Structure 1
Amino acid sequence: MIFGRTLDPEIYDRGEFLDGVRRLALNRASICVRILLFDTREATRAGHRLIEMSRHLTSRIAIQCVSEDDRDRLDAFLVIDERGYVRRRLADTMEATADFDNPHESRLLRTDFEQMWDRSSPDAEMRRLYL
């Protein structure tokens, strides 16, 4: 689960990260990588590799747009699993907290994400067909 204003290329367009996402998406049938963003236009125009990967793995990687109700949030986070997360309290900075053994905080972020996901909508940029 990834939540943020944009897909920061310094974080999410790196080979190591993309390899991990690809392995997770292809090797874990029960997992769908879900990404909630304010806007994907910038990342799409820049040819962000995670966007391109999501277009090839549509049943394994989903990207949606945050609803108007959630656009006042200032944070960004990545929930790794039931125990781990990385969170930036201010999405516009690189200062972050990473904790890989905190089931309580991970659960809170997962719950926040699930609620935002339920209010979100599919991203029109992701619906474009490439032949």
Structure 2
Amino acid sequence: MSREFSVDVVDFASALPDLRAVREVVFVQEQRVPVEIERDALDPACVHVLARDGEGRAVGTGRLAPGGKVGRMAVLAGWRGRGVGRSMLLRLLDEARARGLAEVVLSAQVDAERFYAAEGFLPYGERFEEAGIQHQAMRRVLGSPAAVENAAQAAAAVVGIATHARRLLTIYTREMDAGLLDHPAVLAALRGFATRGGEVRVLLQDVETPQRAHAPLISLMQRLPSSFSARVIEEPVDRTYPSAFVAGDTGGWYFRPLGHRVDGETQLDGAARVRQLKTVFDAAWERARPATELRALGI
């Protein structure tokens, strides 16, 4: 099977047979969604994208409703894990920007929540059931920072930043943020970034607390010592810094005014803010000492 595919915005009427061919296999046959639910009156008013393989056969679909809701994201089984879903989602986000939308929302099936977090979507509200499947509402703010109000949103923000970072990820933390930097999705994203050849720098105000708690991030550092480095802040001017943040090298950042709380703001495409945070981080990093307490763990 060819690995090549294309994603295009299509006319709904002319592409309807291809759209239905994919959606009915994925939603109706695989997920047992009733066909009367899968087909709705909103379809003709939506922007539709269609992914095709190298021979022009439909392999994926997605749509953007006039109000800014992404839906009907479906990829045939043989094409999953090849970037088709991400390419369709990015095309729909481009269409939303072109239409001047301030934000995009969607209802993610729970097992796809991390996929959408990787593209800057934050969860909000309680999980709910739709067509017999558990879903989570998610939102992506376009062109400006998004508010982070709870632990689930904080974890999603870090997942997105780590997924998009290329070479360097900086973490300014008080004590490795239990409940955030030990979240399974966050650890998986950090591990993925490190194994892609990225460097993670962790700047701590308190190294003893995470040691006593056997913080999972320390274990990850131990397993990937060439990708992680840690330093401890000792200078009084730096120890009074009240905030915490995560910043990548491609414009992603998550800033918390008070480092012991999760509420703050995040953005995946905020290069100017990343440059500001990098200045703060680099200055404190140079004054900090190596975390020798962790060297026994291979760091």
State TM-score, norm by structure 1.
0.90
Corresponding residue to 2:272 among 90, 99, 104: 104
Structure having the higher Rg: 2
Corresponding residue to 1:46 among 213, 217, 231: 213
Q: What CA distance in whole angstroms lies between the structure 2 residues aligned with 1:129 and 1:116?
A: 24
Summarize deviations over 1:60-97 as a string: whole Å, max 9, x none: 11111013131110000000233110000111222111
Q: Which amino acid aligns with 1:117?
A: W
Q: What CA distance in whole angstroms lies between the structure 1 residues aligned with 2:284 and 2:251?
A: 20
Q: Which amino acid aligns with 1:50?
A: L
Change (3 A) 1:129 1:78: closer
Q: Which amino acid aligns with 2:200?
A: V
Corresponding residue to 2:292 among 99, 105, 124: 124
Corresponding residue to 2:199 among 20, 32, 43: 32
Q: What CA distance in whole angstroms lies between the structure 2 residues aligned with 1:129 and 1:98?
A: 32
What is the CA distance between 1:129 and its match in structure 2? 4.7
SS of equivalent to 1:62: strand
Summarize deviations over 1:1-23 as a string: whole Å, max 9, x none: 00021111211001111111111
Q: What CA distance in whole angstroms lies between the structure 2 residues aligned with 1:41 and 1:92?
A: 16
2:172 is matched with 3
1:85 is matched with 253
Percent identity between the two aligned chains: 30
Contact 1:78 1:86 survives alignment (8 Å): yes
Q: Which amino acid aligns with 2:188?
A: D
SS of equivalent to 2:203: strand
Q: What CA distance in whole angstroms lies between the structure 1 residues aligned with 2:193 and 2:267?
A: 20
Choose between structure 1 and 2: higher strand proportion. Answer: 2
Q: What CA distance in whole angstroms lies between the structure 2 residues aligned with 1:64 and 1:50?
A: 14
SS of equivalent to 1:34: strand
Q: What CA distance in whole angstroms lies between the structure 1 residues aligned with 2:297 and 2:242?
A: 32
What is the CA distance between 1:37 and its match in structure 2? 0.4
Q: Which amino acid aligns with 1:25?
A: A
2:149 is matched with none
Contact 1:83 1:100 survives alignment (8 Å): yes
Corresponding residue to 2:282 among 105, 114, 117: 114
Which consecutive residues of structure 1, in runs of 5 or more, have no partner in the other structure?
none
2:231 is matched with 64
Q: What CA distance in whole angstroms lies between the structure 2 residues aligned with 1:129 and 1:63?
A: 12
What RMSD over aligned residues (CA atoms) do the two structures have, in Å?
A: 1.4
Q: What CA distance in whole angstroms lies between the structure 1 residues aligned with 2:189 and 2:222?
A: 17
SS of equivalent to 1:11: coil
What is the CA distance between 1:24 and its match in structure 2? 0.8
Which consecutive residues of structure 2, in runs of 5 or more, have no partner in the other structure?
1-169
Q: What CA distance in whole angstroms lies between the structure 2 residues aligned with 1:62 and 1:3?
A: 12
What is the CA distance between 1:121 and its match in structure 2? 0.8
What is the CA distance between 1:58 and its match in structure 2? 1.4
